[in-house]
Amino acid sequence: MSEVKIQPAVHGRRPVTPDRSFEVEMAAHLRKSHPPAQLAEMLDRFASGSSELDTMMRRILWRGVGVIHPETFEIGDGVFIGDQAYIQGRIEGSCVIGNRVWIGPQSYFDARSLVLEDEVGWGPGAKVLGSEHTGLPADVPIIATDLAVRPVRVRRGADIGVNAILLPGVTVGEGSIVGAGAVVRADVPPFAIVAGVPAKFLRWREGHEKESHA
88 and 60 together in one domain: no
pLDDT for res 150: 92
Q: Name the pTM for this structure.
A: 0.75
pLDDT digits (tens, 9 = 90+) for 100-109: 999 998 899 9
85 and 182 together in one domain: yes
The alpha carbon dihedral of 160, 152, 15, 107 has a sign of positive
130 and 162 together in one domain: yes
Inter-axis angle of helices 36-45 and 52-64, to 10 degrees? 160
Between the alpha carbon of residue 144 and those of residues 113, 132, 136, 141, the distances in Å are 21, 12, 9, 5
CA 182 to CA 127: how far, in whole Å?
10
The CATH number assigned to the domain holding 157 equals 2.160.10.10
Q: Which residue has the higher pLDDT, 60 or 186?
A: 186
pLDDT for res 66: 41
Domain that holds residue 29: 19-66
DSSP string, 149-204: E--EEE-TT-EE-TT-EEPTT-EEPTT-EE-TT-EE-S-B-TTEEEETTTTEEEEE
pLDDT digits (tens, 9 = 90+) for 136-164: 899 989 988 888 899 999 999 999 999 99
Q: Which residue has the higher pLDDT, 16 or 108?
A: 108
